[in-house]
């Protein structure tokens, strides 16, 4: 198979990366995608770096069986823990995620920017580097357990709203200028979060990540020549139920929040 007609691989610790896949299908409709959700080993965000790197390598080896031409790590935690090492190990493009602190910094004046992410992301070197460059006014909020709401397909439950109530209680009297969704799972919780942060811009890194994927493939002359819509293959270590949830999320539009 000519390299430009090979599929693009993508993976996450579970279903969250479907939000990135959805953006990729929108921007690159003619490409084929193989998405792997490692639900059996979720969450990555509370694991140590060595364990996440081990799991990420295993998933990459699975995706290589499909002769992918590039891989998107659709997971902020896995990007932080594994992207640099994977790029040293493999000779094809590997695109990672990063919390949207840079675009959020444009909203900062005299208030605060809340950055919601997993403990693994917030504790990583990549996040620390982002904070040095774009962290003025940023309050980092580790959110253990939040991604599991998306994994259960629980996008608007009383328990989820109680979680947000507890998380945001210390900032009710602060001027919140923007909130960063620093985990791909959180995109599916955006509508619920917007009820707790009305009129606050909620930012994620999905669109920028897919733009980087497009630009890299274009520079390598590896964008497909096909004119028909591409195919999407969903795989999961979590079995049929996880694949069914991923399929539902792929075809469910999330409302745009300003």
Q: Is 183 a catalytic residue?
A: yes
Check whether domain 3-97+206-250 has CATH 3.40.50.1860, yes or no: yes
Contact between 43 and 148 (Cβ < 8 Å): yes
Quick one: tokens of 213?
Answer: 């994927």
Q: Which 8-state DSSP code applies to residue 145?
A: T
| Whole-number Cα distances in Å, 14 to 93, 192, 212 | 22, 20, 22
**CA-to-CA distance for 117 and 195, rounded, in angstroms?**
19
List alpha helices for 65-113, DSSP H: 76-89, 101-105
Q: Identify the pLDDT of residue 53.
A: 97
| Domain 101-203 CATH (choose: 3.40.50.1860, 2.160.10.10, 3.40.50.2300, 1.10.760.10) | 3.40.50.1860
Quick one: tokens of 53?
Answer: 């790197």
Q: Which of 56, 183, 189, 200 is catalytic?
A: 183
Q: Identify the pLDDT of residue 255.
A: 45
Q: Which of 15, 42, 63, 75 is catalytic?
A: 75
Each residue's pLDDT expressed in tens, for the chain with a length of 258 residues: 799 999 999 999 999 999 999 999 999 999 999 999 999 999 999 999 999 999 999 999 999 999 999 999 999 999 999 999 999 999 999 999 999 999 999 999 999 999 999 999 999 999 999 999 999 999 999 999 999 999 999 999 999 999 999 999 999 999 999 999 999 999 999 999 999 999 999 999 999 999 999 999 999 999 999 999 999 999 999 999 999 999 999 987 554 433
């Amino acid at each position: 198979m000519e390299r430009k007609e090979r599929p693009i691989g993508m993976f996450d610790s579970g279903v969250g990366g479907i939000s990135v896949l959805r953006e990729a299908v929108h921007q690159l409709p003619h490409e084929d995608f193989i998405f792997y959700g490692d639900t059996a080993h979720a969450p990555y965000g509370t694991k140590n770096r060595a364990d996440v790197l081990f799991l990420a390598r295993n998933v990459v080896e699975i995706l290589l069986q499909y002769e992918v031409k590039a891989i998107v790590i659709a997971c902020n935690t896995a990007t932080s823990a594994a992207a640099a090492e994977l790029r040293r190990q493999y000779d094809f493009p590997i695109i990672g995620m990063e919390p949207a602190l840079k675009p959020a910094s444009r909203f900062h004046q005299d208030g605060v920017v809340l950055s919601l992410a997993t403990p693994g992301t917030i504790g990583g070197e990549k996040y620390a580097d982002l904070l040095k460059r774009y962290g003025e006014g940023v309050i980092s909020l580790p959110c253990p357990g939040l991604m599991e709401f998306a994994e259960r397909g629980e996008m608007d439950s009383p328990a989820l709203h109680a979680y947000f109530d507890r998380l945001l209680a210390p900032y009710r009297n602060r001027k919140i200028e923007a909130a960063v969704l620093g985990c791909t799972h959180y995109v599916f919780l955006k509508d619920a979060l917007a009820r707790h942060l009305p009129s606050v811009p909620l930012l994620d890194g999905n669109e920028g990540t897919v733009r980087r994927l497009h630009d890299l493939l274009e520079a390598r002359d590896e964008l497909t020549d096909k004119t028909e819509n591409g195919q999407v293959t969903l795989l999961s270590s979590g079995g049929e139920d996880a694949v069914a949830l991923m399929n539902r999320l792929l075809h469910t539009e999330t409302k745009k929040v300003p």
